[in-house]
């Protein structure tokens, strides 16, 4: 499995058979200015909630891709449907979808959600994905929540994408507890450095993770991590 980081919470997961793009926010992000978004043509686009720093490039990337499937909550899917993004799978919390790549379950996130134009964006979510022989958790934007313990009861999580930037989401301390809650020792950090309130000290967060025996990966924007 190959994971490419495009900044903020945007990752392309390549299972070898399918490509899944999460929370595309690339063109407005100065940290990702070297990324050529015209080359990104995923099979699936998964969106955790309606905030601009998760949906900014959904429409562009959807329209340049070969009939991708947009996966998000009912409200986000409807909003994009009005823009002509009609190949979609609306979901809601607690539901699992069986798709070409495997399965995706929509799980709880504690956050807020509205679309860039102010339209109600439904409840924010995370995803548990089974694909390419691995099981992973993409938390979206969320606080630490006891609900994460439910994930460990049902899945063996190989790795988790967790926000670590604090202020709008969990910071590193809560993210390390979240890793324990979902039952993984491998975390891929996201939602940091994009805006001044979420700037992190990388050495500090890596040291904190090491102290708790968590393998924290911070992928450089534009680079691909193999696992
Ligand atoms: Ni958000
Ligand atoms: Mn966000």
Cα of 64 from ligand 1 centre, angstroms: 25
**pTM for the whole thing?**
0.98
Phi, then psi, of 63 in degrees rounded to 5: -70, -20
What percent of the chain is modeled with pLDDT above 90?
100
Torsional class of 67: left (φ above 0), alpha (ψ -120 to 50), beta (otherwise): left
- Ligand 2 centre to CA of 54 (Å) is 6
Cα 158 to ligand 1 centroid, rounded to whole Å: 25
Query: What are the start-end ranges of the H helices in 69-162?
Result: 74-81, 148-154
Distance 163 CA to ligand 1 centre (A): 11
- The alpha carbon dihedral of 64, 104, 194, 141 has a sign of positive
Angle between helices 202-211 and 172-182 in degrees, nearest 10? 40
pLDDT tens, position by position, for the chain (227 residues)? 999 999 999 999 999 999 999 999 999 999 999 999 999 999 999 999 999 999 999 999 999 999 999 999 999 999 999 999 999 999 999 999 999 999 999 999 999 999 999 999 999 999 999 999 999 999 999 999 999 999 999 999 999 999 999 999 999 999 999 999 999 999 999 999 999 999 999 999 999 999 999 999 999 999 999 99
Q: Rounded to the nearest whole angstrom, what is the distance from the C-alpha of residue 108 to the centroid of ligand 1?
A: 14
pLDDT confidence of residue 135: 98
168-198 pLDDT tens trace: 999 999 999 999 999 999 999 999 999 999 9
Give the Å distance between the CA of 209 and the centre of ligand 2. 22
């Amino acid at each position: 499995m190959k994971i490419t980081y495009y900044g903020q919470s945007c990752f392309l997961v390549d299972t070898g058979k399918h490509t899944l793009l999460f929370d595309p926010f690339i063109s407005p992000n100065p940290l990702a200015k070297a990324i050529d978004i015209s080359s990104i043509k995923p099979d699936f686009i998964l969106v955790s909630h309606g905030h601009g720093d998760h949906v900014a490039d959904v429409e562009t990337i959807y329209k340049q891709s070969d009939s991708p499937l947009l996966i998000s909550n009912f409200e986000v899917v409807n909003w994009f449907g009005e823009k002509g993004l009609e190949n979609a799978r609306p979901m809601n919390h607690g539901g699992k979808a069986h798709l070409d790549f495997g399965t995706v379950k929509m799980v709880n996130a504690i956050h807020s959600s509205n679309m860039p134009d102010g339209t109600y964006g439904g409840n924010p979510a995370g995803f548990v994905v089974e694909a390419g022989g691995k099981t992973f958790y993409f938390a979206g934007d969320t606080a630490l929540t006891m609900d994460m313990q439910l994930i460990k009861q049902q899945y063996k999580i190989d790795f988790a994408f967790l926000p670590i930037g604090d202020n709008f989401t969990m910071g590193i301390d809560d993210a390390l507890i979240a890793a324990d809650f979902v039952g993984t020792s491998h975390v891929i950090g996201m939602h940091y450095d994009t805006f001044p309130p979420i700037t992190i000290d990388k050495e500090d967060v890596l040291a904190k993770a090491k102290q708790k025996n968590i393998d924290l990966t911070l992928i450089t924007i534009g680079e691909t991590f193999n696992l």
